[in-house]
Structure formats: C-alpha cells, structure tokens
Chains A and B, each alone.
Chain A
Amino acid sequence: MTPKLRHALCASVVLLLSACGSVQPWVKPYERDRLADPVMAWDRDALSSAFLDHVYESREGSRGGTGAAGGGCGCN
C-alpha cells in the first residue's frame, strides 16, 4: 500500500467515524412498535434453533455463520 493510499484510507476512516457521532436515528423509538412484535424476533426459540443448527452441522460439511449456538453430537 502506497503512503498516499494509506493517508487517504486513514482520512476516510476518520471522516466516517466523525460522521457516526452525528448520526440521528431515522427510525424513532416510538416508530418501532412493529419491530417489537414477537413475530419480528430474529429467533423466538434459541434452544430450538441451536438444536436445528446442530442437526445440520452434524450432517453437512459447512459450519458456523448462523448466529446461533450449535452443539455437540455428529452421532455416527
């Protein structure tokens, strides 16, 4: 990475971070009633999701990235 590019990158990061300080929430707290509805929960049942992730991880080559706990047994 050239020094010029490095400086440009640093300046961009500083600008981005300074912009963060003045970001105003565009969805106000009183507008989040629908998002607070149980049907909008990412995962209403963590145990069930962890179990299903585990079922898949034990039988597929892929793993991770699901944002929920897997667990244990590949079970022959």
Chain B
Amino acid sequence: MMHLRTPSRLVTLAALAGLFAGSPAPADVLPDNRADLFYSKYSGGGMNINTYEASAHANATENIGLDYSYLVDKVSGASVDVLSNASVIKDERKQNSISATWIHDKTSYTLGYSNSKERDYISNTPHFSLSQDMFGDLTTITLGFSRSRDEVGENNGTANDPKVAWLGHAESRAYDVGISQILTRNLIAGVTFDVITDDGFLQNPYRSIRYYSSSGLGYTLGSQVYPDTRTSTAIEARLKYYLPYRAALTGIYRYYRDTWGIIGDTVEIDYTHPVRNKWIFEGRARYYKQGHANFYADIFPYFDAQNFEGRDKDLAASENLTIGAKATYAWLPDGWKVFKRSTVTADISQVRFKYLDFRDIKDYNDTPAGGEYAAGTEPLYHFNAMIYQLYLSAFF
C-alpha cells in the first residue's frame, strides 16, 4: 500500500510526545504504569482503514520506564488519484515501537526504535530525546532527534499475488525543540519548532501526472518526477486555559513551509468539560489550509513540460475542516485489585476535505474531450471522511 507521504516520522516527533503527553508535570517523575487497547476506523475518499494497537508503559525502577506498542493497519480501497491509474488495493501495515526513558535529577533521556513494515514499504527509525525541567519546574525544554531509513517499493501484482519491485531508499532526519511553560496558575503555553530533511526516493509510484494530448479523453497519464530532497520547517504554538469553572480551553496555531513550496496554516480549538468525576467530554474544531507545491499541476500543458512534475492530491492547494467529539468514562475510578483506575474512551470526527486545484478524473474519466467536461475542466475533488476511535486504558 505504501506510505510514502510519511516516511517513518512515526517516532520523529515522539521525542516531543512526552513534553505534551500530560499535564505540565516535571520531567523528574515517571508516569503511572499503564496499558492501552486501541481501535480506530477511518472511512472516506474510497478508503477504509482499520487500526488495532496495543500499548504498555511499565516502570522498571523509580527512574527507568519502558514503553512498547504494536500496531496493525488493515487497508482496503484506494484513493481517487490511485483509482485513476491502478486497481483497488488491500494491504496491511505492522509497526513495532520500543523505547526506554531514564530520569536523572531534573532531566529525562529517552532512546527508542521503531520498525514499520508493509509489502512495499519498510521503515526503521531510531530516535533520541532529552527533556529538562527548570525555573522551579515552571519550564520544560525538550530536544529531539531521529533518523529514519526507508525502503520504497511498488506492487505491480495484485492484492493476493503481489509482485513488489524495490525502487529506492529515502532517508529522513528530524530535529525538534520544544518548550512548555506555566504562565499563571490557570494558563500554560507550549511552542514546538521542528525541522525535517528528506533525501532519496520521495515520490509516490502509485500516483500519476496527466498532460493534454489528442487522445480520446483529451489527456494522457504519465509518471511523476519529484525532487530527491525536501526540507520542511514547522512551528506550533499552543495555549491552554483553566476556565473560571472546572473546564479547559485550548488554542493551537501551526505554521508550516517547505522547500517544495508548500505553505500551510492550521488552527484548532478544543474544549474539555468534566462531569462529576466519572466523565470527561471534549469537543474540537480544526481548520487547515495549504498552497500547492511549486511542481504540482492538475494537468500539464504537454509531455515532459518541466523537470519536476507531480499530481499527488496531497501536493495540491486544499483545505479541510474537522469537527470532533470525545467522551471518556472512568469505569473503575477507585481502582480494583492491581488497577489504580481504568477508563474507556469513544471519539468520533468528521473531516471535510476540499481541493482547490485537483480535479476528479475518477468519476469523469470516461467523458470524451469536448463532452460535458473537457480535460482540465472536470469538477474539483472533495470528500468527507469519518473517523471512529474506541480505546480502553488501565493504570496500575
């Protein structure tokens, strides 16, 4: 199935996960032992993805903690830009992640490794991070680094009879700096700065470009050619405020830009509201908008029109809006036997994707040139996705 778009940054940012994983607790205390079972279903744009994950955190000593997680993605279907040039796929991805955290005085060090494997894509990522509390534990600074090496392939067979051709390697390095700051007794702030560099085979072999031609459709499909390097910079700022009654409001803004010419803005607002000590409800709205990559076009004027050519919809100008709600129920608030407490959480989100210069040739690719939709005038693509999550957490 190939996950070229996210070359194993699966743990690139894990370095900072600890920084934002909990309340502004000092780094010199390990979190409780816990175990999680996670299920999610994504459905939209012709894709169905079921994800199953089991995860555990255990403290070996007072200052050494261990984490392990195992994840399986089961994918069926294919998105619009694949359907325009390939058959429906059915595939599976498995990911193992392990890490160890050592706390010494006000500093915590985390070393981890992750492996992600599917038929046509293998990724290995070691990562390291350190986190330092200072100024009376009002401030936490985190530095992270990870380096991944990916093997990129293409399945030229079928779902049941794969024939994978290995096309090349991609390497990724990520450097992260984060700061979390207590500002007042009701307000905390966080800033993350993140630079990622990629090098190697970065294009997605399952996507195609198209260019004007005298064929019956008015266009012909061709191969994408991407640059073999990419550097991206992202900065995110977040504020969380404890309201006059027991509830919290979060505001997040992220600015992104990269050497492919993509500039993106993300804004998110979350509201968290507990009811007695049994429930926590959360609502969120997220809006994202991006400009297209400088080598992207929905349709090129002629064959080989420029050095780099891409028509992956992820490179197109687009926007999306997410509305989500989450409910957490503490079904063992006072613990039971070895368990200190346990919670079950249900989460549902709808994402409306809208593309501003990517046209839907899947539904209209049988229209002859000069027909209802001539090449390059097809309707812009859009779709809605539903995301369901259900998970069980036990603390001991």
Residues on A facing B (Cβ under 8 Å): 20, 23-27, 29, 31-32, 34-48, 50-76
Contacts and interface: CB of A to CB of B under 8 A. Distances in A.
Contacts, number: 248
Given A48-B347, A61-B314, A62-B290, A72 B4 contact: no
A37 B17 contact: no
Contacts of A55: 42, 351, 387
B3 interface: yes
B185 A72 contact: no
A51 to B, nearest CB: 6
Nearest to B286: A56
B328 A44 contact: yes
Interface string B103-123: 000000000000010100001
Interface residues of B, number: 107
Given A57-B5, A63-B256, 7 more contacts: A44-B22, A55-B351, A71-B10, A72-B3, A72-B95, A72-B123, A76-B47
Interface of B: 1-6, 8-14, 16-17, 19-25, 36, 38, 40, 42, 47, 49, 51, 53, 55, 69, 71, 73, 75, 77-79, 82, 89, 93, 95, 116, 118, 123, 134-138, 174, 176, 178, 180, 182-186, 188, 190, 192-196, 204, 206, 232, 234-236, 238, 240, 242, 246-248, 254, 256, 258, 260, 262, 264, 266, 272-274, 280, 288, 290, 293, 314-315, 318, 320, 326, 328, 345, 347, 349, 351, 353, 387, 389, 391, 393
A59 to B, nearest CB: 6
A31 B185 CA distance: 6
Contacts of A66: 13, 192, 234, 236, 254
B40 A51 contact: yes
Top 9 closest A-B pairs, CB basis?
A: A25-B136, A65-B234, A74-B5, A71-B10, A62-B264, A62-B256, A64-B194, A73-B3, A61-B262
A58 B21 contact: no
A23 B118 CA distance: 51
A75 B47 contact: yes
Contact of B280 (A25, A38, A60, A72): A38
B184 A61 contact: no
A66 B232 CA distance: 13
Question: How would you classify the secondary structure of chain A's contact residues: helix, strand, loop or mixed?
Answer: loop
30 contacts: A20-B134, A27-B183, A29-B137, A35-B185, A35-B188, A35-B242, A37-B23, A39-B242, A39-B272, A42-B240, A43-B17, A47-B38, A48-B38, A55-B351, A55-B387, A58-B3, A58-B5, A59-B314, A60-B290, A60-B314, A64-B174, A64-B232, A65-B192, A65-B193, A72-B6, A72-B10, A73-B3, A75-B73, A76-B75, A76-B206
Contacts of A74: 2-6, 204, 314
B11 A42 contact: no
A43 B73 contact: no
A9 to B, nearest CB: 20
B95 A27 contact: no
Contacts of A76: 1-2, 47, 75, 77-79, 82, 89, 206
Contacts of A64: 9, 12-13, 174, 176, 194-196, 232, 234, 256
A68 B16 contact: yes
Given A61-B290, A70-B10, A76-B47, A34 B185 contact: yes
B345 A48 contact: yes
B232 A48 contact: no
Contact of A39 (B73, B82, B248): B248
A60 B9 contact: no
Contacts of A60: 264, 288, 290, 314, 318, 320
A74 B326 CA distance: 24
Contacts of A56: 288
Contact of A24 (B36, B71, B136, B246): B136
A43 B138 contact: no
